[in-house]
């Protein structure tokens, strides 16, 4: 369904604007990343000099008894005439995985923008925030679009995420497809390496099996949930007639009586209420974000706060 008129591609209301996602970098740049609260350490928080694969070269020092001879620095040894050993710094780089809902229900909005556009804006903010904190960022779309963006670090990682968000938005227009949240979480759980997960959804795909999947995911990652909702899903609509569009067909809904308005609001808001209650029950950090709000505060609170909501 849609209540926002579709205009030109990338208008920032009914469709994702890549320019807007990239411009969010400046806003995030004014936010100071808080210490990470995750089950793994972020890059630079703590280091140890160890040997083995997956390590970054740190420095060389004079050979000491017990050093692994396979780590001898032969170039420095030749120049100095004295045995030297290479030291390596263990990689402890954090990784954020954004799980983005692309179901048709996300393409709905009565205030300012579609939920799908707000979700993309929130995901972009998360990407810029994560790379600024020294993390790699990746994303997985579920629902209509089922794509994966491998984690990357630095500005290139956030730019890649913004590009993927815009592309996924274009790819989902006019397509009807469903994927239960539990199945999406199962796919996300098979992606190794992420120590933080941000789920962005309106909750309409939330099924009973999602509870176990979310609980399983928390065993190896810190999970936060951002529930995107429209104003009509959060409060009773004022009495009146509402034009809606679904699958290319325009209809008008008449809402006048209290019971009629209440049932309409509960039906629209069932998903966000269900997902919010699930996150609350599992003790996950979560926030609700409507389509008119600035996603910066909600996203940075989820990624930087020390305690659940």
The string of pLDDT tens digits covering residues 180-194 is: 999 999 999 888 678
pLDDT above 50 (res 288) = yes
pLDDT above 90 (res 256) = no
- Residues of the chain with pLDDT > 90, as a percent, come to 59
What is the predicted pLDDT for the residue at 116?
Answer: 98
Residue 289, phi then psi, degrees to nearest 5: -130, 120
More confident residue, 152 or 1: 152
What is the predicted pLDDT for the residue at 211?
Answer: 97
The string of pLDDT tens digits covering residues 107-146 is: 999 899 999 999 999 999 999 999 999 899 999 999 999 9
What is the predicted pLDDT for the residue at 43?
Answer: 34
What is the predicted pLDDT for the residue at 69?
Answer: 84
pTM, to two decimals: 0.77
Q: Which of 21, 198, 196 is nearest to 124 (CA)?
A: 21
- Angle, to 10 degrees, between the axis of helix 270-281 and the axis of helix 210-217? 40
What is the predicted pLDDT for the residue at 242?
Answer: 80
Q: Are 93 and 137 in contact (CB under 8 A)?
A: no
pLDDT above 60 (res 280) = yes
The string of pLDDT tens digits covering residues 5-46 is: 434 458 999 999 999 999 999 999 888 776 554 344 333 333
The string of pLDDT tens digits covering residues 148-183 is: 999 999 999 999 999 999 999 999 887 888 999 999
Q: Which of 139, 171, 131 is nearest to 155 (CA)?
A: 131
Q: Are 98 and 221 in contact (CB under 8 A)?
A: no
More confident residue, 262 or 16: 16
What is the predicted pLDDT for the residue at 51?
Answer: 40
CA dihedral 229, 147, 37, 127 (to 10 degrees): -80
pLDDT above 70 (res 305) = no
List, in sequence order, every beta strand (DSSP E) within the chain: 49-50, 55-62, 84-90, 95-101, 136-142, 148-153, 196-201, 222-229, 240-246, 249-255, 285-290
Highest mean pLDDT among 224-228, 263-267, 302-306: 224-228
Q: What b/e readout covers 103-128, taking b as 16+ CB neighbours within 10 angstroms?
A: bbbbbbbbebbbbbbbbbbbbbbbbb
Secondary structure of 254-298 in HEC code, one letter for each residue: EECCHHHHHHHHHHHCHHHHHHHHHHHHCCCEEEEEECCCCHHHH
Give residues with Cβ within 8 angstroms of 304, minimum separation 6: 33, 34, 35, 36, 37, 129
Least reliable range by pLDDT among 39-53, 91-105, 217-231: 39-53
Mean pLDDT value across the chain: 85
pLDDT above 80 (res 58) = no
The mean pLDDT of 77-98, rounded to a whole number, is: 81
Q: Which of 66, 115, 67 is nearest to 88 (CA)?
A: 67
Q: Which of 290, 105, 119, 89 is nearest to 198 (CA)?
A: 119
List, in sequence order, every beta strand (DSSP E) within 21-79: 49-50, 55-62
The residue behind tokens 């962005």 is: 200
Structure-block tokens of residue 116 = 């799908």
Distance CA 304, CA 132 (A): 12
Q: Are 300 and 198 in contact (CB under 8 A)?
A: no
pLDDT above 60 (res 204) = yes
Q: What angle do CA 215, 217, 218 make, to 5 degrees?
A: 65
What is the predicted pLDDT for the residue at 89?
Answer: 55
Confidence of residue 92 (pLDDT cuts 50, 70, 90): low
């Amino acid at each position: 369904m849609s209540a926002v008129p579709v205009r030109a591609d990338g208008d920032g209301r009914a469709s994702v604007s890549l320019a807007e996602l990239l411009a969010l970098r400046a806003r995030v740049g004014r936010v100071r990343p808080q210490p990470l609260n995750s089950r793994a350490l972020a890059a630079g928080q703590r280091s140890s000099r160890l040997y083995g694969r997956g390590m970054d070269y740190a420095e060389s020092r004079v050979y000491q008894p017990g050093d692994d001879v396979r780590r001898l620095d032969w170039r420095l040894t030749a120049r100095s005439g004295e045995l030297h050993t290479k030291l390596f710094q263990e990689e402890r780089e954090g990784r954020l995985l954004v799980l983005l809902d692309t179901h048709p229900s996300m393409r709905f909005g009565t205030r300012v923008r579609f939920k799908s556009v707000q979700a993309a804006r929130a995901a972009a903010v998360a990407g810029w925030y994560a790379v600024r904190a020294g993390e790699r960022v990746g994303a997985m779309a579920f629902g209509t679009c089922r794509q994966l963006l491998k984690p990357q670090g630095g500005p290139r990682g956030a730019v890649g995420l913004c590009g993927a968000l815009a592309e996924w938005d274009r790819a989902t227009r006019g397509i009807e497809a469903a994927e239960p949240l539990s199945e999406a979480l199962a796919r996300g759980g098979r992606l190794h390496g992420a120590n933080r997960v941000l789920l962005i959804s309106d909750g309409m795909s939330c099924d009973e099996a999602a509870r176990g999947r979310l609980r399983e995911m928390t065993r190896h990652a810190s999970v936060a949930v951002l529930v995107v909702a429209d104003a009509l899903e959060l409060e009773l609509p004022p009495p009146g007639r509402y034009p809606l569009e679904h699958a290319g067909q325009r209809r008008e809904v008449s809402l006048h009586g209290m019971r009629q308005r209440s049932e309409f609001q509960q039906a629209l808001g069932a998903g966000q209420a269900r997902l919010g209650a699930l996150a609350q029950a599992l003790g996950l950090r979560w926030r609700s974000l409507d389509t008119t709000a600035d996603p910066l505060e909600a996203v940075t609170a989820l990624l930087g706060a020390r305690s659940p909501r």
